[in-house]
Structure 1
Amino acid sequence: MASDPGYIRLQKAGRATLSLIASIFTTIMIMRATGQMLITPSIVAGMTGMMGIMVVMDDSKKKKQSTTLLLGVSAMLGITAGSFLAGNFFYIDALLLALVFSSFYLTRYGSRYFSLSMIGFMTTYFSSILNLSSNQLPWFYIGIWIGVIYAFIFNFILFQKTAANLKRSIHSFHIQSNLIFSILLKGIQERKLSPKLRKSLRNNIFKLRDYAVTVSEYINEEDVQELWPGLTPAQLRLYVFDTGMLIETLADSVQSLKKADALEIDELRRLLVWVIESLRDAEVLAENYEKQNLQEAELAVQALRFTITEMLDRDQETEGWLFLIRRIESISNHVIEGAITLQQSLDSDKPFIDDSEAPDEETAEEDSKDEDTGLKPSTKKAYQALAAGILSIIVGQLISPAQPYWVLLTAYIVLLGTESIGRIYTKAFQRSYGTIIGALLGFALARFVSGHTGLEVALIFVVVFFAFYLFTVSYTMMSMFITMLVAFMYDLLLNGITVSLIGARVIDTIAGAGIAFVVSMVIFPKKTKDKVSEALNDYLEELRNYVLEYVRGFREDVNVKELSRNAILLDQKLKTIRDEAKTLLERGGLFHDTTTSQWITIIEAINYYARHLVASSYRKDFEYPDELEEVFKSIEQKLKDNFDALPALIEGTRESQTVHRLDWERELIERLAPSRFKAQRDLIHHLYYVWRINRSIVELGIELGAEEKTP
């Protein structure tokens, strides 16, 4: 079995928990050795060690190292300010609000400032409720730096070998790929695909997509060179994408061929089995790689190509499914070519030089000019957080004078990472619901283990681990474990926990979540549908650049080798659309947004076609008559006009917009293009998904109110 993509979560949650444990126990040992009985410095040490793992999000190792060390400085300043200002609630309120505002506002300058503001907020909050004396501060400083040191050790010394993660993820990707190949072989041999087999195939393909994303996250120049000298990140990324596309194409095609009874042809079935088996056995990146494995795959694909040619010559009634076989042959050959390139690079002493990753000057210039004339999103978010913070402090003083800042802490956390009203509502609800469940479980468990300090401390570490491990999976579960942590901490520090105490935290949490939601509706509100529209436009802009570049490549020398990266980016942007639209799609009955649902259905179809288009993106040397040159220009212009019309339609502009079909251009190309036997590349085959993408764009445009313009 391939290793779970959740290994990344496991590793990060494990590092955070180990850093927490090591920081706490080291600080306790130092305190006990010097005769100090304070427990709170060890808690601050653990918090710093844990946050040093979780909140450092810079884009390079060097920047992460610098930010980790700066966390110690920010935490010291927070502890100092909180202790000296603890007697004056006005100054503490002002400082906490300033830190909340800064954590959002300064993100425009980099994630580092968010990390520093966040740990400053947490330490200020913590020290303000402890009323520390000046002679206690040095022990907290020691605890802070112990936490920073352990975070640094676990992040950059003990777990610094990211190349091992890349190798492991590639290995998992191969295992998962071979598993699907084996399922396909079984399906081909069976007379009919059973529902159980189809379900298994579908679920394993979803897993493979997760594995491909995991691999892409680890691909970088340094690790690729360490593992496979001579290989480039671009080559490895393309190989992973092509393999994933081949498997998805095989799965779809085999099921369609089964329905059409095409696999009843013994020769065709034998060849498909041969192709799949040879591809499964070709361990391209294995250390003990055997070249004959890839040669076998070449022979199998070549035999399949000859069979296709014979079927075309026989003029059999294969119109409905022969395209599927041609697609399998094309993408299989594509994967083999990529694998051969990889092996040639690995065997060469000199690394392959690829300038395709160099930034496009025109794009960079456009990006530099693309400045928002209004308030930046970070500024709007900062003002939202400031308003929510003021309301939270007022409400906190009214309902929980002893712990007035818990409401503020909840509102702050709910606003993190959310923009639209729908997303904030969902997060607020999940936070409240998880807190209620966590309070019930935490109170019951804390009462049950009360007095057993060792067991209670162990449970604290367990709930911390699961809170971080499940953070990206279920925010409700994360909130539940955090509340259980609070219950155990209260029982340890206050020598017992009461219903009123844990109940107050539940009320504070619901109040803070409610304040965050209300503020998001009043101050710079971003409606969920507007955010979905924004995400749609972002997706379509990325698609526009790719499709136009692809079509231009048929008549100009365009470097399209790196367009596989666009497929990964398009998948990410599609996921953003789904996430933003989730609250609209989950509403039932009369409140269900059918319009948004239809939009997303069409976009998902477009994304499917775009992924197949990417799989042919670096084929060149097309031959066609000169008169088709103008046809390609017409295709580009109509596609450009269609893409330009969609943003205005999505935003609801009243001006009339028109969209164009490509039926006339398609007819000319299919009539004038050289046949498969006379040209090196099959032009008709490589334009198939361009027609499908444009047809879907036209349907989306008409759905949004555009008029179809006839040639």
Structure 2
Amino acid sequence: MNALPSSTSPGRVDLHNVRHLWDVFLISDPDLGRLRKGLRAALGAGLAVLVLSWLARLLGEPPTVTLVGTMVAMMGSQLATDTEPRAQRVTTALLVFPAVLAAVLGTLAAQIPLLGAVAFAVTIFITTFVRRFGPRGLALGMIGFFSFFNALFFRAKLAQVPALAGAMVVAVGIAYAVRFVLIPDRPERNLRRLLRAFRKTLDVVLWELAEVSGQPRLTPALVRRLSLQADRLSDAALAVEDLLPSDQIPLRQRLFEVELAANRVLGAVRQIIETGALSPEVRGEVHSALVAARIAIRHRAPAASRMMHTHLERLRAATPEPTRDEPGSSDARRFRNSLSDLVDASFLLTDELLPEALGPRMTESPNPVAQELAREGLHPSTRQALQVTVASVLAMAAGYAVSAERWYWAVITAFVIFTRTRSSGDTVQRAWARVLGTVLGVVAGLFLARLVTGHDGLEIASIFVCVFLGFYLIQVSYAWMVFWFTTLLSVLYGLLGRLSPGLLYLRIEETLIGAGIGVTIALFLMPERTTAHVQKVARQVLDAAGDYLEEAVVNRTRETDQARLLDSARVLDARLRELRTAARPLLAGKLGRFSPRAVRTVHAVSELVLSVRHLEMGRGLLGLNGTSRELLREAGLQLAHNTRALADSIGAEEVPPVEPASALLDKAQRSLVGEETLRRGPASPPILLHWLTRVDEALALLAQSLRAPTRLYFPWRP
């Protein structure tokens, strides 16, 4: 029998590694959104330079007008992030008003230093305050701030006010043309790209699982590696889901089934490593089955699927069905079933399920975190506007004390580290990224500027490459964007004949001032503590889990609306993603040791959601006898009640006792009759009971985590 190529086949290692790395690169930008972002920024800046410089020469205006307009054209092509395409067009068109007003006010106010400082502070407050109006408010506020800032940065003169206003109109027109005519979004193409990227994500996940399946033990690094694969799957599935109308039931159903099956494979491989019950020879069959499954899914190859089943049969023969639940045999059985389910489900996820045309989504779930925050006390945008204004005024004073000409570098740092943040931890992370990107960008900028100085073509090309890379990588890391724009600034100063190491070192100093003041204000002036923010989002996740339990178990019938069930599942996914985003400062850095209860809560809630999602929308209920069905519905109601009770207790002093549903689940298990006990598959009654039991256990673990005393956590302590 011919063996399929594997990642360890002689003579093929380099080729397979290259393909794998290429797949990882492709799924990092599945719909080419980052590529379009980078191209729009570079093209917008390039067209603005050509058009505005020609107009400036024609009208006898200095380069200042061109530079200010170029910045607006570059940013204007990026800022509209509304959900609907029409709303994006309206937002981009509206940018002209705050751009003109802010640029003119910035030029006028700059003529009187004290008045300029006051006007800048007022502008900062207003541009932050309007974020309460959603993506449009954020876009209009950002363009207003940067138009005011650029008028100061490029030292616009009073006589240039009419030309500046005209340049703003032209720049916004260029941004509109680039965004919606030259490099538009095409949802129908994006959907096909995203579906292909989802399949490639499955390929990457199976590659990683094959690589780690022989590991001798489950280390923290390996747990993080497996968690990364689960996040990749979730993000890829949600990206497809975001473009699909709710009435596209077949595709949404298949997508959900494939994602759940892949998660079960992840769990099975993790269990194999954790127990260590399988011998190295049997682990070899696990590895070979994963390689064959990867090829089967990648190429839709029946031969590879048959080879996978051959390896699974060998695995079955090496681990016979036990008379009792021995770890090795149960691990192997779980792996065999989950991998077979994954390949079968992926073969059903075909391009024929794609809709011929895309309309607007039938249901839009509002941001649950924004809703929660909006209900309590001061509106988040008002609180942040006060924080940003105070931080900017202090940065203005401190920055001016260091440099009377470059103080605005401190101000812009204090402003931007509060952008798209919701908690103190987010602000600290963003400040660190700003400082790191600036320091490394100065080093790279000095090197690049000296390399290209005197070569006009190379200097100009380097500027546009930096623009492209800055916007291309901003979604990967804010530090990368800062790095490339600091590098750009170095090349620009070289082109203008004003480059000096002292000037760039001053930028580092002013950035440190702005970042330090911003972090201090975020921590001590009306702070939104990261722990409190995580608790708010965790409550939202648990409320969504309770809703899903009721939809999928308590109220599940054959007449249940499938779209409603899928929407409920995806709301749960989206809220879990919000929780992980909110907890990133605790999970990714060293801050977690100061909030161990919050970290435990995040992990416990994540485990609960994983179990809830695997209920397969309650399909196992549909073929049950009446007694079992009623018992399971009663158990589902108890679990939903426990979930909501624990949600209410997060952040409270007392955690109420929760009544476990184990007794009801045991009764339901014993009441199964006939083929109900023998049925297999992810939607079968025994599997439904298994996952409901896991939900019950996860709720008990969550209750225990919430009751545990708060103490500092140090990883070197037992």
Among residues 680, 691, 694, which one is paired with 1:689 in the alignment?
691
Judge which range, 669-678 or 526-535, deviates more.
669-678
Q: Does 1:125 align with 2:140?
A: no
1:606-639 CA-partner distances (Å, limit 9, x unpaired): 23323322x454555232243x465345423432
Following superposition, the deviation at residue 699 of structure 1 comes to 1.6
Q: Is the 8 A contact 1:219 1:233 kept in 2?
A: no
1:411-470 CA-partner distances (Å, limit 9, x unpaired): 110111223222212222221232222223323433454333332222222222222222
Q: Describe the shift of the 1:624–1:10 C-alpha distance in structure 2 as closer, same or farther (beyond 3 A).
A: same
- The answer for the alignment partner of 1:13 in structure 2 is 38
Following superposition, the deviation at residue 503 of structure 1 comes to 2.5
- The answer for the alignment partner of 1:242 in structure 2 is 257
Following superposition, the deviation at residue 275 of structure 1 comes to 10
Q: Give the 3-state SS of the residue equivalent to 1:473 in structure 2.
A: coil
- The answer for the alignment partner of 1:652 in structure 2 is 652
The residue identity in structure 2 corresponding to 1:693 is: V
Among residues 91, 96, 100, which one is paired with 1:67 in the alignment?
91
Q: Describe the shift of the 1:203–1:395 C-alpha distance in structure 2 as closer, same or farther (beyond 3 A).
A: closer
Q: Distance in 2 between matches of 1:297 and 1:580?
A: 40
1:366-411 CA-partner distances (Å, limit 9, x unpaired): x999962521112111121222232223323332222333222111
Superposition map of 1:442-457 within 5 A: 442-457=445-460
Q: Is the 8 A contact 1:75 1:123 kept in 2?
A: yes
Q: Does 1:280 align with 2:297?
A: yes
Query: What TM-score results when the alignment is normalised by the length of structure 1?
Result: 0.79
Q: Give the 3-state SS of the residue equivalent to 2:404 in structure 1.
A: coil
Superposition map of 1:176-575 within 5 A: 176-178=201-203, 193=214, 206=228, 210=232, 213-214=235-236, 216-217=238-239, 219=241, 232-253=247-268, 276=293, 280=297, 321=329, 325=333, 372=375, 374-493=377-496, 495-554=497-556, 557-560=559-562, 562-575=564-577
The residue identity in structure 2 corresponding to 1:217 is: A
Judge which range, 560-569 or 49-58, deviates more.
560-569
Q: Give the 3-state SS of the residue equivalent to 2:614 in structure 1.
A: helix
Judge which range, 585-594 or 16-25, deviates more.
585-594
The residue identity in structure 2 corresponding to 1:463 is: C
Following superposition, the deviation at residue 644 of structure 1 comes to 2.8
Q: Distance in 1 between matches of 2:414 and 2:484?
A: 18
Following superposition, the deviation at residue 260 of structure 1 comes to 5.8
Q: Distance in 1 between matches of 2:203 and 2:429?
A: 39
Judge which range, 40-49 or 132-141, deviates more.
132-141
Following superposition, the deviation at residue 148 of structure 1 comes to 2.2
Following superposition, the deviation at residue 690 of structure 1 comes to 1.6
Judge which range, 507-516 or 565-574, deviates more.
565-574
1:23-57 CA-partner distances (Å, limit 9, x unpaired): 2123223434x273622222223212211122211
Q: Is the 8 A contact 2:68 2:154 kept in 1?
A: no
The residue identity in structure 2 corresponding to 1:531 is: H
Judge which range, 554-563 or 456-465, deviates more.
554-563
Following superposition, the deviation at residue 204 of structure 1 comes to 9.3
Among residues 598, 601, 619, which one is paired with 1:599 in the alignment?
601
- The answer for the alignment partner of 2:664 in structure 1 is 665
The residue identity in structure 2 corresponding to 1:387 is: V
The residue identity in structure 2 corresponding to 1:635 is: A
Q: Is the 8 A contact 1:166 1:215 kept in 2?
A: no
1:202-247 CA-partner distances (Å, limit 9, x unpaired): 96995685366246335566xx69xxxxx95443333223223223
Among residues 173, 177, 181, which one is paired with 1:153 in the alignment?
177
Q: Distance in 2 between matches of 1:256 and 1:39?
A: 64
Q: Describe the shift of the 1:676–1:208 C-alpha distance in structure 2 as closer, same or farther (beyond 3 A).
A: same
- The answer for the alignment partner of 2:624 in structure 1 is 623
Q: Is the 8 A contact 1:649 1:701 kept in 2?
A: no
- The answer for the alignment partner of 2:138 in structure 1 is 114
Q: Describe the shift of the 1:506–1:635 C-alpha distance in structure 2 as closer, same or farther (beyond 3 A).
A: same
Q: Distance in 2 between matches of 1:263 and 1:695?
A: 32
Q: Is the 8 A contact 1:585 1:596 kept in 2?
A: no
Following superposition, the deviation at residue 508 of structure 1 comes to 1.6
Q: Distance in 1 between matches of 2:493 and 2:295?
A: 61
Q: Distance in 2 between matches of 1:48 and 1:484?
A: 19
The residue identity in structure 1 corresponding to 2:601 is: W
Q: Describe the shift of the 1:706–1:342 C-alpha distance in structure 2 as closer, same or farther (beyond 3 A).
A: same
Q: Is the 8 A contact 2:132 2:381 kept in 1?
A: yes
- The answer for the alignment partner of 1:56 in structure 2 is 80
Q: Is the 8 A contact 1:82 1:92 kept in 2?
A: yes
Q: Distance in 1 between matches of 2:44 and 2:583?
A: 37
Q: Distance in 2 between matches of 1:678 and 1:646?
A: 33
Q: Describe the shift of the 1:53–1:328 C-alpha distance in structure 2 as closer, same or farther (beyond 3 A).
A: farther
- The answer for the alignment partner of 2:635 in structure 1 is 635
Q: Does 1:168 align with 2:193?
A: yes
Q: Distance in 2 between matches of 1:647 and 1:41?
A: 55
Q: Is the 8 A contact 2:413 2:514 kept in 1?
A: yes
The residue identity in structure 2 corresponding to 1:577 is: L
Q: Distance in 2 between matches of 1:401 and 1:218?
A: 51
Q: Give the 3-state SS of the residue equivalent to 2:658 in structure 1.
A: strand
Q: Does 1:4 align with 2:3?
A: no
Q: Describe the shift of the 1:211–1:463 C-alpha distance in structure 2 as closer, same or farther (beyond 3 A).
A: farther
Following superposition, the deviation at residue 671 of structure 1 comes to 0.7
Q: Is the 8 A contact 1:388 1:411 kept in 2?
A: yes
Task: Mark the runs of 5 or more structure 1 residues left unpaired by the alignment.
Answer: 226-230, 284-289
Matched positions, count: 671
Q: Distance in 1 between matches of 2:450 and 2:548?
A: 60
Q: Distance in 1 between matches of 2:66 and 2:700?
A: 62
Q: Is the 8 A contact 1:531 1:580 kept in 2?
A: yes
Query: What TM-score results when the alignment is normalised by the length of structure 2?
Result: 0.79
1:51-105 CA-partner distances (Å, limit 9, x unpaired): 1122211111111111111112321222222223322234333332233222222
Following superposition, the deviation at residue 677 of structure 1 comes to 5.1
Q: Is the 8 A contact 1:430 1:475 kept in 2?
A: yes
Q: Distance in 1 between matches of 2:384 and 2:223?
A: 43
Q: Describe the shift of the 1:182–1:128 C-alpha distance in structure 2 as closer, same or farther (beyond 3 A).
A: closer
- The answer for the alignment partner of 1:92 in structure 2 is 116
The residue identity in structure 2 corresponding to 1:48 is: V
Q: Distance in 2 between matches of 1:678 and 1:207?
A: 33
1:322-357 CA-partner distances (Å, limit 9, x unpaired): 6974786589669868976978867x99x999x995
Q: Describe the shift of the 1:552–1:245 C-alpha distance in structure 2 as closer, same or farther (beyond 3 A).
A: same
The residue identity in structure 1 corresponding to 2:421 is: T
1:648-673 CA-partner distances (Å, limit 9, x unpaired): 4420324x511222221121011112
Task: Mark the runs of 5 or more structure 2 residues left unpaired by the alignment.
Answer: 1-18, 710-718
- The answer for the alignment partner of 2:104 in structure 1 is 80
Q: Is the 8 A contact 2:253 2:566 kept in 1?
A: yes
Q: Is the 8 A contact 1:68 1:148 kept in 2?
A: yes
Among residues 612, 615, 622, which one is paired with 2:614 in the alignment?
612
